Amino acid sequence: MKKWISSTVLSFGLFCSAASYAAQPHINPQVVSKLAWQEIGLSQQQTTILDAQQRNLSGIDSPIAAYRLPANQGTLDITISSSVEDNDHIFVPNVAVLDANFNLAATYPANTFQFQNESGLQGNRLSKALQLTPTPNQDYIYLLIYTTNEDLQGSTTVPHPAKLYAKARGNQPPAIDDLQAKHSLNGKIHIEVDGKQSARFIGLAMPEFKAKSAVEPQAVGRNTKTEKPLTKPVEQETEQYFNNAIRNAMKNNDVNRAMNLVNEAEQLGLSSPRKTFIGLVSQK
């Protein structure tokens, strides 16, 4: 299964969506600043159990997982997963990224998460990887994970355990239906945080940086500057070659080849092949 990574340029006061223009959640900075944030440092992970009774943020009608991440240690590699519970239900996550002042900087809606089959110690899950780089003069950035009423209307297809078992043993999977995990207000969120170097920023309005190319860009389309024919002297035998080739082409009534030879000769700075061609045409 591919690991999907979103690496986003985020600026203070701007809303960016990694994959779609989903409706923004209503975030009141004064309200969210009072939440009990779970702190996660680099090379740490955390599991949060959510249930339908946890409704502690106005504007989001959902249980939430609230995390505080360091903003002064470079780029953050973040992996967020929501596991299928008992092959029966799953909490479908959406992510809101807040800057140091609790302003909404970006959202990652549920449709940016990818389903991953169980592997190793990890069960079936919806998962997403992010790369976020806080700008200077911030101590923390914040992640809110929640679900929406729209997400609750659906379900996620989960491969039947008997099929996975058969495939693992190299056998033909049985012809049985897969399972449907209902989207629920109950679930389990797992988050991992690591660090890396990057040049994308969160938190302040930044100018657009463009990488300098070691090779000058090649113009595509028409150029107002006309390429001049080469003026380097060409040996007489080369000129004779073109003249003979044009004569042979015309002898075989291959006018197109003769014209192509004339064009090639002129690019080399030769003038006599065109005279040869015109002379042969006039004899027809």
Sequence ranges of the domains in the chain? 5-196, 236-283
Instruction: Provide the pLDDT for residue 212.
Output: 39
Write out pLDDT tens, residues 227-262.
444 444 445 777 888 889 889 988 888 887 888 888
Instruction: Count other C-beta atoms under 10 Å from residue 48's C-beta.
Output: 19
Instruction: Provide the pLDDT for residue 23.
Output: 64
Looking at the domain 5-196, which fold is it?
Jelly Rolls (2.60.120)
Mean model confidence pLDDT for the chain: 79
Q: What is the pLDDT along the chain (284 residues), one digit of tens a residue?
A: 444 445 444 433 333 334 444 567 888 899 899 999 999 999 999 999 999 887 667 778 899 999 999 998 888 999 999 999 999 999 999 999 999 999 999 999 999 999 999 887 889 999 999 999 888 889 999 999 999 999 999 999 999 988 888 888 888 889 899 999 999 999 999 999 997 644 445 554 333 333 333 333 322 223 334 344 444 444 577 788 888 988 998 888 888 788 888 888 887 888 888 889 888 877 76
First to last CA, the chain: 69
By 3-state DSSP, what share of the chain in percent is helix, strand and coil, each rounded to 5? 20, 30, 50
Please state, in angstroms and rounded to a whole number, the distance separating the CA atoms of residues 129 and 147. Answer: 18
Dmax over CA atoms of the chain, in Å, equals 98
For the chain, give the percent of residues with pLDDT over 70.
77
> What pTM was computed for the model?
0.63
Please state, in angstroms and rounded to a whole number, the distance separating the CA atoms of residues 115 and 81. Answer: 9
Q: Tokens in use for 253?
A: 């009534």
